[in-house]
A and B are shown apart, each in its own frame.
Chain A
Amino acid sequence: MGTLTQRGLNRRSLLAATGAAAVGLTFTACGQKPAAPTGAEEAKLNFYNWDTYIGDTTLADFKTATGVDVNMSLFATNDELFAKLKAGNPGFDVIVPSNEFVTRMGQAGLLEVLDHSKIPNLKNVDQAFMNPEYDPGRKYSMPYTWLVLGIGYRKSKVKGVPDSWKYLFDSNQYAGKIALLSESADLIRLSAKYKGHSVNNIPPEMVAEIEAMLIKQKPFIKAFHDDNGQDMLASGEVDLVLEYNGDIAQLMKEDADVDFVIPKEGSLINSDTLCIPKGAPRPDNAHKFINYLLDAQAGAAISKTILYPTPNAAAKALMPEDYKNNPVIFPPPEVMAKCEYGAFEGAEKASQYEEVMTRVRAA
Chain B
Amino acid sequence: MEQSWKQAKAVFAGALGPPLFWLVLFFLVPLAIVWAYSFGQNDGLTDIAITGTWANYARAIEPLYLKIFIKSVWVAAITTGLCLVIGFPVALAITFASEKTKTWLLLLIMLPFWTNLLIRTYALIAVLRTEGYVNMGLEWLWNGMGGLAPLLGLAPIGEFQPLELLHNNFAVILGLIYVHLPFMVLPLYSALDRLDKSLLEASLDLGAGHMRTLFKVVVPLALPGIASGVLITFIPALGAYLTPDLLGGPDSQMIANVIERQFKRANDWPFGAAMSFLLMYLTFIAIALQAVLSRKKPEAK
Which chain A residue shows the least CB distance to B42? A347
Docked-complex contact B265 and A86, CB < 8 angstroms: no
Docked-complex contact A86 and B64, CB < 8 angstroms: no
Q: In chain A between 166 and 198, which residues have their CB closer than 8 angstroms to a CB of chain B?
A: 176, 183-185
Question: A80 with B264: in contact, given A223-B249, A237-B166, A362-B64 (CB under 8 Å)?
Answer: yes
Pick from A235, A237, A350, A363: contact of B266, CB under 8 Å: A350
- Complex CA distance for A184 and B249, rounded to whole angstroms: 16
Which chain A residue shows the least CB distance to B253? A361
- Complex CA distance for A363 and B64, rounded to whole angstroms: 9
Docked-complex contact B130 and A17, CB < 8 angstroms: no
- Complex CA distance for A223 and B129, rounded to whole angstroms: 12
- Complex CA distance for A183 and B266, rounded to whole angstroms: 10
* Chain A residues within an 8 Å CB radius of B258: 358
* Chain A residues within an 8 Å CB radius of B242: 17-19
Docked-complex contact A358 and B130, CB < 8 angstroms: no
Docked-complex contact A17 and B246, CB < 8 angstroms: yes
* Chain A residues within an 8 Å CB radius of B264: 19, 77, 79-80, 83
- Bitwise, A215-240 to B at CB < 8 A (1) or not (0) is 00010011110100000000111000
**Smallest distance from the beta carbon of A232 to chain B beta carbons, Å?**
8
- Complex CA distance for A82 and B265, rounded to whole angstroms: 10
- Complex CA distance for A222 and B251, rounded to whole angstroms: 10
Pick from B46, B64, B118, B250: contact of A223, CB under 8 Å: B250
Docked-complex contact B253 and A362, CB < 8 angstroms: yes
* A21 close to chain B: CB less than 8 A: yes
Docked-complex contact A222 and B131, CB < 8 angstroms: no
* Chain B residues within an 8 Å CB radius of A358: 64-65, 68, 253, 258, 261
* B45 close to chain A: CB less than 8 A: yes
Q: Give the residue among B129, B263, B265, B268 with the most A Cβ atoms within 10 A.
A: B265
Tally A residues with Cβ within 8 Å of B: 41
* A351 close to chain B: CB less than 8 A: yes
Docked-complex contact A79 and B265, CB < 8 angstroms: yes
The 3 A-B residue pairs with the shortest CB-CB distance, nearest first, are A79-B264, A354-B266, A108-B45
* Chain A residues within an 8 Å CB radius of B44: 108
**Smallest distance from the beta carbon of A342 to chain B beta carbons, Å?**
13
User: What are 25 A-B contacts defined by CB distance under 8 Å?
Assistant: A17-B245, A18-B242, A19-B260, A21-B118, A83-B263, A104-B45, A108-B44, A218-B251, A222-B167, A223-B167, A223-B250, A235-B131, A236-B130, A237-B129, A237-B167, A350-B265, A350-B267, A351-B266, A354-B262, A355-B266, A358-B68, A361-B251, A362-B64, A362-B67, A362-B253
**Smallest distance from the beta carbon of B13 to chain A beta carbons, Å?**
32
* A52 close to chain B: CB less than 8 A: no
* A110 close to chain B: CB less than 8 A: yes
* B178 close to chain A: CB less than 8 A: no
- Complex CA distance for A86 and B267, rounded to whole angstroms: 11
- Complex CA distance for A80 and B268, rounded to whole angstroms: 13
- Complex CA distance for A58 and B250, rounded to whole angstroms: 40
- Complex CA distance for A265 and B167, rounded to whole angstroms: 29
* Chain B residues within an 8 Å CB radius of A237: 129-131, 166-167
Docked-complex contact A226 and B45, CB < 8 angstroms: no
- Complex CA distance for A224 and B249, rounded to whole angstroms: 7
**Smallest distance from the beta carbon of A181 to chain B beta carbons, Å?**
12
* B241 close to chain A: CB less than 8 A: yes
